[in-house]
Structure 1
Amino acid sequence: MRAETEAIVDEIRQGMALLRRHLDWDASQQRMAELNGFVEDPTLWNDPERAQKIMRERTDLESRINGYLKLERELGDNLELIELGEMEGDDTVVTDAEAMLRELSKEVVHQQTESMLSGEADGNDAYVEINSGAGGTESQDWANILLRMYTRWAQRRGYKVEVLEMHDGEEAGIKSATIQIKGHNAYGWLKTESGVHRLVRISPFDSQARRHTSFASVWVYPVVDDKIAIEVNEADVRIDTYRSSGAGGQHVNTTDSAVRITHLPTGIAVACQNERSQHKNRATAWQMLKARLYEVELKKREEKAMADAAGKTDIGWGHQIRSYVLQPYQLVKDLRTGVESTAPGDVLDGDLDGFMEATLAQRAFGKQPLEIKDVD
């Protein structure tokens, strides 16, 4: 086996050892047996809230156990293929197996990152709010591209996406949009995406084909359920109703069904227009406001924890975090971790996991797992 391949195998084995320790393998097996016993109990659904909690825990634990077993199986299979190929002098078999090992090393990194998502709200669904910056049509088109990027990322992971609010641009793109991404660990993965995103390209709206720089902001916060107590004084909010805008059918602009709630002490404002019923939009907007206030508290805790740890970088949400250059060269670079991709088309089509993994690892360890340096 070549030295390069041996190094990759060593990295995989080290990563798998960390995963196994994090899983606490024997305890996980015992807990899985207990959960299976609960699921087989015909009285389980007599208490729907408890049943849902058990089912969520079982699904999560089963996924992590099966993920580790799959890594173990694929490592063994590919090592056998390399040994067989070397014995028979079949370079093609060896080359293919080595390529599979390189992919497997990325999957180990992915699962290592997934194992870090144990924060208070990491397992929750997420709201993603996108706002265009100054620059009119250019920035509004860029905001729309980001909306598509996160939608595609969610679809790649099997998550569901619901548009809660959208304001179209005058000529193209969007001024703002809020979507809800539903899926296990959606917030945990997306939380590092908050910040300013910068685009450099030849403008399709410039008749002289000049290069333009556009900015848009992304804000991610967790969906909170009724079990998380967030107290909001009604005297501290202003509620406005207005007519919805954008696509939505024949009734969308006929009534003041859209709702905006502004929290006066903090200036936080949320809006919802996806339902025809003002009552439903108001209920969703209240939930969004509580989620925003909860996210502010989580952020304060995280900043304090990071300030207490030496060598941690500032994670100010309002700072520019990533640059997407389409002209005069092709490059996406995360300014926090240094991770780069020379395939911006893939990134804008939702290939974001490498960037997210590196940023999550930086928060947890101060560096990327397995020394990630590039995103394929």
Structure 2
Amino acid sequence: MQRLNALREEVNTWEGIATQLQDLQGLAELLEEEPDDEVRTEVEQSLNALEQQIEQLEFALMLSGEHDEKNAILSIHAGSGGVDAQDWAEMLLRMYLRWAEKHHFRTQVYDYSEGEEAGVKSVTVEIEGRYAYGYLRSEAGTHRLIRLSPFDAAHRRHTSFAKVEVMPDIEDAIEIVIRPEDLEVDTFRSTGAGGQHVNKTDSAVRMRHIPTGIVVTCQNERSQIQNREVALKLLRARLYELELKKREEETARLKGAHVEADFGTQIRSVIVHPYNIVKDHRTGYETSDTSGYLAGDIDPFIHAYLQEKASGLESSPA
């Protein structure tokens, strides 16, 4: 039903555009017979609005991956840089939450590990909305921040790193078998926000998948059962991502293509001292509006990445 509703909405959108174009064509023919500046202005404004709408729809056509329409599970981990890196991780979290809000996506934080002095060590958040994963997959990688450190008494320039992971929320769309004997489950008392139930019961869940060593935690739900369900959901997504990477590596090996590691090399740098610039090292796209970028205006970077990927696919031999 969700798929049907999405397709119906898409068809209605294109049919609505076709109807508006027919109406505007009729007005244009009338203008040729009886010029009217007011009607001409109205037609031009309507055409500009339609052009922008079509550009957005054409861009959405690039989101044609198998899981692009799905929700996204986004994790941020502080890297090297000490307290500054943990603060940078929290800045990235705030940036993505604001981006999601602008797109009217719903968000829910599943696991939040506070930093020792400031910021966060790691955080996992689900972003719910059509094409959330398709947009955010461009953000996976290492992000670098260069600034005058607010945590340095001498106010020196520091470089901080944070790693962003993005996975599709696969729900039950793919078969990932998790055997109970392959799980090691620990419970502990939640340490974050949670009201009167915090620290009274061992409601938080840490789950380790023994064959792969993958560990997930969830402590934000009120009951242990809810936290366990969410942890299983996160584990299933991570196991799917692991399996997908294995297939991609095997495909690349058979084709003889070189596979570059995603993590360990910055994909994007944010510099706020001695000048302001945000630059994506994969596409070359950059902006001097660091404030807007950190406030969630990341769409131009997402668009540039997807256009580059689409161009690469178009130019590759069949």
Sort the Cα spacing of 1:321 and 1:69 in 2 relative to 1 into closer, same or farther, 3 A.
Answer: farther
* Divergent runs of 4+, >4 A: 67-74, 87-90, 103-109, 302-313
Letter in 2 for 1:190: L
Write the distance in 2 (CA, Å) between the matches of 1:361 and 1:308.
26
Displacement after TM superposition at 1:194 (Å)? 1.1
Write the distance in 2 (CA, Å) between the matches of 1:219 and 1:68.
38
Write the distance in 1 (CA, Å) between the matches of 2:14 and 2:270.
32
| Corresponding residue of 1:346 | 292
Write the distance in 1 (CA, Å) between the matches of 2:300 and 2:172.
33
TM-score by length of 1: 0.71
| Corresponding residue of 1:199 | 145
Write the distance in 1 (CA, Å) between the matches of 2:216 and 2:60.
30
Counterpart of 2:4 (choices 57, 67, 74) is 57
Displacement after TM superposition at 1:217 (Å)? 0.7
Percentage of matched positions with identical amino acids: 45
Displacement after TM superposition at 1:164 (Å)? 0.6
Displacement after TM superposition at 1:186 (Å)? 1.1
| Corresponding residue of 1:337 | 283
Contact 1:311 1:366 in 2 (8 A): no
Displacement after TM superposition at 1:226 (Å)? 2.4
Contact 1:323 1:333 in 2 (8 A): yes
Correspondence 1:298 to 2:252 = no
Contact 1:132 1:217 in 2 (8 A): yes
TM-score by length of 2: 0.82
| Corresponding residue of 1:14 | none
Displacement after TM superposition at 1:110 (Å)? 3.7
Letter in 2 for 1:355: F
Displacement after TM superposition at 1:222 (Å)? 1.2
Unaligned runs of 5+ in 1: 1-52, 369-376
Q: Which residues of 2 match residues 62-101 of structure 1 at below 5 A?
A: 62-63=9-10, 65-66=12-13, 69-70=16-17
Unaligned runs of 5+ in 2: none
| Corresponding residue of 2:200 | 254
Write the distance in 1 (CA, Å) between the matches of 2:248 and 2:14.
29
Correspondence 1:179 to 2:125 = yes
Sort the Cα spacing of 1:348 and 1:243 in 2 relative to 1 into closer, same or farther, 3 A.
Answer: same
Displacement after TM superposition at 1:185 (Å)? 1.3
Displacement after TM superposition at 1:228 (Å)? 2.0
Displacement after TM superposition at 1:316 (Å)? 2.3
How many pairs does the alignment contain?
A: 307
Contact 2:89 2:162 in 1 (8 A): yes
Displacement after TM superposition at 1:322 (Å)? 0.8
Instruction: Return the structure number with greater relative CO, CA threshold 8 A, min gap 6.
Output: 2
Give CA-to-partner distance per residue, 1:2-29, whole Å, 9 cap, x none. xxxxxxxxxxxxxxxxxxxxxxxxxxxx
Structure with greater proportional helix content? 1
Letter in 2 for 1:57: L
Contact 2:272 2:290 in 1 (8 A): yes
Letter in 2 for 1:335: H
Correspondence 1:163 to 2:91 = no
Write the distance in 2 (CA, Å) between the matches of 1:236 and 1:355.
40
Give CA-to-partner distance per residue, 1:297-330, whole Å, 9 cap, x none. 2334445566777998846245321111111111
Counterpart of 1:363 (choices 306, 309, 314) is 309
Contact 1:139 1:216 in 2 (8 A): yes
Correspondence 1:141 to 2:99 = no
Sort the Cα spacing of 1:88 and 1:318 in 2 relative to 1 into closer, same or farther, 3 A.
Answer: farther
Contact 1:358 1:367 in 2 (8 A): no
Q: Which residues of 2 match residues 20-35 of structure 1 at below 5 A?
A: none
Write the distance in 2 (CA, Å) between the matches of 1:153 and 1:176.
19
Write the distance in 1 (CA, Å) between the matches of 2:130 and 2:216.
24
Write the distance in 1 (CA, Å) between the matches of 2:309 and 2:248.
10
Contact 1:119 1:188 in 2 (8 A): yes
Sort the Cα spacing of 1:310 and 1:115 in 2 relative to 1 into closer, same or farther, 3 A.
Answer: farther
* Residue aligned with 2:145, SS: strand
